[in-house]
Structure 1
Amino acid sequence: MKKISLIFVLILLINVLTAPIVLSRSHSFSTDLMSESAILIDAKSGKILYEKNAKHQMYPASITKIATAIYAIENGDLDDMVTVSKKAREVEGTRVYLEGGEQVSLKKLIQGLLINSGNDAAVAIAEHLEGSPERFAFKMNKYLKKNIGTTQTNFENPHGLFAPNHVTTASDMAEITRYAMKNKVFREIFGTVKLKWKGTSWNTTLLNHHKLMREIPYEGVTGGKTGFVNESGHTLVTTAKREDFHLIAVTLKAPSSTAAFNDTIQLLDYGYQNYKAFKLTKGSTFHTKQGKSYELTKNLYYTLLNEDKLKGRVTENGFLQISNQEKKVLTSIQLKEEKDMIESKQASLSKVNKLYIVFLIVVALTLGLIVRVCSRIHRL
């Protein structure tokens, strides 16, 4: 187990984080975003780095498909073969040109959903998993509230075509994306730039609609989803990673595709130029002046401005609090007192020992039985 004193950790972090850094601008935007609503968060810690009308309900358009995809991945079998219905075949908007009666795997439909924004794929997924798009939307809303804690989201279909009550917020979409990005299959599909597609009536190469992944490469972009209907304007979700700093940017109701991408670049530039992400590793041990020892039982992620100077302390009830020079608590987490950890490990060891003893007894009885049977056979 890696043991690190609290003082040593804090000195190390302060030295690293206060090294001279040249910024191209201060930690505030010099230009207003053109999107009506936007948010930038650290995907690991969940910290909001920037927001504009982030809790205002807006029309999402096709970024709805992020929620559809993660619901399908976690609630379906990716190897299932889905039979495409006439209703899926005839849905309006962007499609992957599925044919009625065509057999397509659930995973392939999710690929068509996210990479080419296939509305027909969305309907086929919904009908396969829940019987109808309406039932699917109902179940998906419950899933989002339970697993992610969305508060201002109500989806009425799986694809994002306009409906008056089909709404979300930039804040909810950032959290939905944050949750989805924890899933390996979702990350793989979400980050796919191009994919060969062979269908009954359409053989092509799908190209991701997100320009920062193809036409205007931006350092670190790992995935994204575009959206547009007249009522929503241009919507955009983007994920990015530089070293171990993961960002999620959401922009809603931009007046044009160019404006949405420009706003996203501004958000990501702002995040990477002004903030740093840090992690304290599970198993680190902290010692107080009173002689108590505490252990971190899970990884701790937090985000801070480049100029922040860290201070930390362990409270009397075992909370590790990390604050900046203004005494603002950046993050706090409950630690486990080392004696509790020892008792827990001893209890686990005791349980293992008991199981081992039971195992030996069973083996001994079995061997005894085998010897007696062999003895009787020998006498016969």
Structure 2
Amino acid sequence: MNKIIMGLIMSLIIGFHSFAEPVKADETPIQIASEAAVLMDSQSGAILYGKNEDAKMYPASLTKIATAIYAIEKGNLDEQVNISEYATKIDGTKVYLNQGEQVTLKKLILGMMVNSGNDAALAIAIHLDGSLESYSKHVNEFLKKEVGVKNTHFTNPHGLFNENHYTTAEDLGRILNYAMKNKEFREIFGTKKIDWQGESWSTTLLSHHRILKGEIPYEGVTGGKTGFVDESKQTLATTADNGKVKLSAILLKSESKRKIYDDTIQLFDFGFANFKTSIIKKGEEFKTANKKFRANQAVFVTEPIVQAERKVSPEGMLTIKGKNGKAIQKLQLDEVANKRSEVKKTSRKPEQNGILPMNPVIGGGVFLMAAGFWVLNRKQKKGRRYRSR
């Protein structure tokens, strides 16, 4: 019975599953020195600022954001990873792993994210997929299927330069936003320092992100990752939260560290000053003309702090608009069918009980004729009584 009732309820709803469609927000007076940049609402995915956000770029160590969330979702953080000789011989920044050393997967992810250890990244990839080639195949499938990247192809887990290892600022923002939904990732991404006990050395690893560790003060920063190779220049990923909106900033190919942090602060200042995150509740209804629409699930939307406008098209597309009527975000709603009371039809013949069913007009005429005969009959009888006297 419950299944039947639920089926009837669902039959009143017409349309497809609700989805959020990010739209680039208003043009701003921001002056960003980095070659590519994007500022996004971490929860809704709305793009609040973009500069060459869909241009093909080399991400350097921001690649490790993808490696981290892939490892967290695919692996067991408590399992021991056996370090291969191949991983120990990689170039660049390391946590100085030894061949044959046993390290937990979580510790390797921390070493990769906090100290940007390339040896830790490579050890993770080999542990998860057996080889670098297999890792590349599987991580790209993961990013397309689970995250929805559009123009990303990774050949390695660490970000050392390869012409076929590329992404975009927008895709990196998508990857970061996806990762930030995971509690383990959020904790690791926000880690400023860790005590590292290894076979080669014992030390305290410090984050390379200058805002995250407090060298450049900025209130509300919740996580960060740096990157650099000659071909990529400086790259930076940062998240922040002021209690009204959670923001993700990606900056690519900056000529200097100072400029890339200045760019990040400009983006956060702009985002916090102008936007907030709201929730459209499951079942919330919107009307336009003679139609009614509703959201079939709770969804985050980004709205301007002032001059916010929600407008629904006749097709059920809800557009969140800001200053000058420019779109910030779009959401497809489901149409709710009109409830109309209908007379139930039956194939059963009516019971006659010896009386033939009549058309109302004919029935009325028969009644009047019968009444006339009755009156006439009464007059005739009365006349006979008078004559008999």
TM-score clears 0.5 = yes
Q: Which residue of 2 aligns with 1:95?
A: 94
CA distance in 1, matches of 2:117, 2:323: 50
Do the aligned residues in 2 keep the contact of 1:41 with 1:247 (CA within 8 Å)? yes
Displacement of 1:109 after TM fit?
0.7
| Aligned residue type for 1:100 | Q
Displacement of 1:275 after TM fit?
2.2
CA distance in 1, matches of 2:98, 2:72: 23
CA distance in 2, matches of 1:209, 1:108: 17
| Aligned residue type for 1:276 | K
Q: Which residue of 2 aligns with 1:36?
A: 35
Q: Which residue of 2 aligns with 1:232?
A: 232
Displacement of 1:250 after TM fit?
0.6
Q: Which residue of 1 aligns with 2:165?
A: 166
Do the aligned residues in 2 keep the contact of 1:27 with 1:270 (CA within 8 Å)? no
Which segment drifts farther, 169-178 or 322-331? 322-331
Structure 1 residues 22-80: Cα deviation after superposition (integer angstroms, max 9, x where no partner): xxxx97225x3221111111112211111111111111111100011111111111121
* SS of 1:213 mapped into structure 2: coil
User: Identical aligned pairs, as a percentage?
Assistant: 49
Displacement of 1:331 after TM fit?
2.7
- Structure 2, unpaired ranges of 5+: 1-25, 340-389
* SS of 2:81 mapped into structure 1: strand
Do the aligned residues in 1 keep the contact of 2:308 with 2:320 (CA within 8 Å)? no
* SS of 2:58 mapped into structure 1: coil
Structure 1 residues 288-322: Cα deviation after superposition (integer angstroms, max 9, x where no partner): 886x8765332232223344242445x66666555
1:206-245 equivalence runs, <5 A: 206-214=205-213, 215-245=215-245
Q: Which residue of 1 aligns with 2:49?
A: 50
CA distance in 1, matches of 2:223, 2:76: 23
Computing the radius of gyration from Cα coordinates, the structure with the larger value is: 2
Q: Which residue of 1 aligns with 2:139?
A: 140
Displacement of 1:286 after TM fit?
5.4
Q: 1:187 to 1:338 in 2, by over 3 A?
A: farther
Instruction: State whether structure 2 residue 184 is matched by structure 1 residue 185.
Output: yes
CA distance in 1, matches of 2:155, 2:319: 42
CA distance in 2, matches of 1:164, 1:93: 18
CA distance in 2, matches of 1:324, 1:234: 33
CA distance in 1, matches of 2:130, 2:227: 25
CA distance in 1, matches of 2:120, 2:261: 26
Do the aligned residues in 1 keep the contact of 2:42 with 2:177 (CA within 8 Å)? yes
Do the aligned residues in 1 keep the contact of 2:303 with 2:321 (CA within 8 Å)? no
Displacement of 1:335 after TM fit?
4.0
| Aligned residue type for 1:144 | L
| Aligned residue type for 1:117 | S
Structure 1 residues 158-177: Cα deviation after superposition (integer angstroms, max 9, x where no partner): 10111122111111111111
Q: 1:28 to 1:145 in 2, by over 3 A?
A: same
1:227-376 equivalence runs, <5 A: 227-285=227-285, 295-313=294-312, 320-323=318-321, 330-335=329-334, 337=336
CA distance in 1, matches of 2:338, 2:75: 44
Displacement of 1:112 after TM fit?
0.8
Do the aligned residues in 2 keep the contact of 1:297 with 1:336 (CA within 8 Å)? no
* SS of 1:302 mapped into structure 2: strand
Give TM-score scaled by structure 2 length: 0.74
Displacement of 1:325 after TM fit?
7.3
Equivalenced residues, count: 312
Displacement of 1:87 after TM fit?
1.1
* SS of 2:211 mapped into structure 1: helix
- Structure 1, unpaired ranges of 5+: 1-25, 341-380
Structure 1 residues 199-257: Cα deviation after superposition (integer angstroms, max 9, x where no partner): 11221122111111111131111111100011110000111111141111111110011
Structure 1 residues 69-125: Cα deviation after superposition (integer angstroms, max 9, x where no partner): 111111111121100011111211111111111001111111111111110101110
Q: 1:309 to 1:111 in 2, by over 3 A?
A: closer
Displacement of 1:326 after TM fit?
5.3
Do the aligned residues in 1 keep the contact of 2:233 with 2:254 (CA within 8 Å)? yes
